Copies of this chain bind each other. A is one copy, B any other.
Amino acid sequence: MDNQEIRKAGLKVTLPRVKILELLEASVPRHVSAEDVYKMLLEKGEEIGLATVYRVLTQFEAAGLVTRHNFEGGHAVFELDRGEHHDHIVCVLCGKVEEFMDATIEERQKEIAAEHGFEMEDHSLIIYGRCNNSSCPGRE
């Protein structure tokens, strides 16, 4: 059960934390903002404050349970960390997000970091483009 994940992170197993983790696992939209989580909880009838959502999400991030992304738009989005690393492609027109993972790029990044005297710890790669989704606005 999820509870172990929370406990392992050194956090008390409380209702807000369990509910938020469950919600992330249901992973409906893969990338959700704190506000999204808050609203989804409200819709489910859970009375969890926005401040708590932010706190819990930040704690989950510190514990390595979720990853925070700074896509453009002024607010951060979170996604459950399922172990496998991946990068993102975001449609600048409709906001659709797809994930990918490319060994070639991953490898080159480590080399580049080394060439600059850095030890790579993490990275963020986001490709912005126009998707060919039929429901995507701005298509001629």
Contacts and interface: CB of A to CB of B under 8 A. Distances in A.
Interface of A: 68, 70-72, 89, 91-92, 98, 100, 102, 104-105, 108-109, 112-113, 115-133
Total copies of this chain within the assembly: 2
Contacts of A112: 89, 100, 102, 127
Given A123-B127, A125-B123, A127-B123, A117 B132 contact: yes
Given A124-B125, A126-B124, A117 B105 contact: no
B113 A102 contact: no
10 contacts: A70-B71, A89-B113, A100-B116, A104-B108, A105-B108, A105-B109, A109-B127, A118-B129, A120-B129, A123-B126
